[in-house]
Structure 1
Amino acid sequence: MLSAVARTVVPVLGRLTVTTDPDTALAPGSIVAANHSSLADPGVVLAAVRRLGVEPVVLATAGLWRIPLLRGALTREGHVPVHRGTEHAARALEAAAAALAAGRVVVLYPEGRLPLRTDPADRAPGPFRTGLARLASGGAPVVPLGQAGARRISSGSTAKQFAGLLTAPLRRPAVHVHLGAPLHLSPDVATATAEAHAAVTAAWRTAATHLPPHRR
């Protein structure tokens, strides 16, 4: 349901285009690692993955489960709440590993949080946490996803973010998603984290080249 909503809503908010490397495939049991830049980009990522014919499981902040209209849908569809900074945080990786074992495609944001800045510009992904490397240690292929342009839909202070979402259907900014070829990460967590960061950064750079220059 969430993927269907994203597929319907995102084209209203912006002009989404999607490209892939020649050998890209979202095989069952894959992990999609995406850069995180805006409150709008989860919808962008879901819409892009849906275009490739996949209904993924998403690791998302547990706060979304406190929204009554979302809680039931998130639970029914098997999405995984991440309780950051609590003793329950490890459960998210356990649930994600179970989804992979069941043949689902799992989407996660290795940065773990949105950037703490207010400008609408796209920048390279920030440092990655180790959750992706630990989840992929079981051998799951990792598909790097770079998205650029979501901050043109919504960024800045809370008021500006809501204003951006309200005006986006009139502005319809360009948004681009690029998925790279799957890779298998090193068994060493630090090395794997660096490999994943490089791959997602490369996908983001490719996505950014598809956007026209932006003026505030």
Structure 2
Amino acid sequence: MTPHREILENGLWAQNPGLTQLLGLCPLLAVSSTMVNAVSLGLATTLVMALTGLAVSAARHLIPPEIRIPVFVLIIAVLVTVVDLVMHAYAHDLYLVLGIFVPLIVTNCIVLARAEAFASKRGPLASTLDGLAMGLGLTGVLALLGALRELAGKGTLLSGLHLVFGEGARSWTIQVLPDYGGFLLAVLPPGAFIGLGLLIAARNALDRRRTERRSRPTALVRSA
């Protein structure tokens, strides 16, 4: 496996922040009531992670080890401020819905963790790719959890697209379950915990099946 492919596989699956490392759970559970909200925050986090990896890697030889953590936090804070101002200017309605969770990307432990564990030790390309892969892995979990909660809670998918694309996008909402009365638990915080638990269980089951399939040829050879 090539290094770049390994980085992608680690971020998207093997070391997925939401399902394996269980990092960044605060926004994961708080903003995933709808698929649009979840994906929007996930993409904002992905952009910050990719740019953080690039910036930290490029400056790693200039940062004294004793102050590296404060400098990393400062870099992350600057990038989050830029993303926050861009969303405030061009997606104001979405910005109001996401609220404090956009600035809180600064405190998201997965961003600082990858800066310290990976970007501070690798080149700019690999570090940017790692941030992108980890961010997209988290976004994928957010998207699945948001879709699951929105479908169970309101019977719809993609509600709230008008927050991103304007009032004309209201008609883009998919009514999967017509005349659905809704399930309140799904859109409340306990629903987020239940949904995340189901996703973790599904991932573990898939990993177990992959391991069993890989071990079967070895077992057959030994028996022969």
TM-score, normalized by length of structure 2? 0.28
Q: Which of the two has higher C-alpha Rg?
A: 2
TM-score, normalized by length of structure 1? 0.29
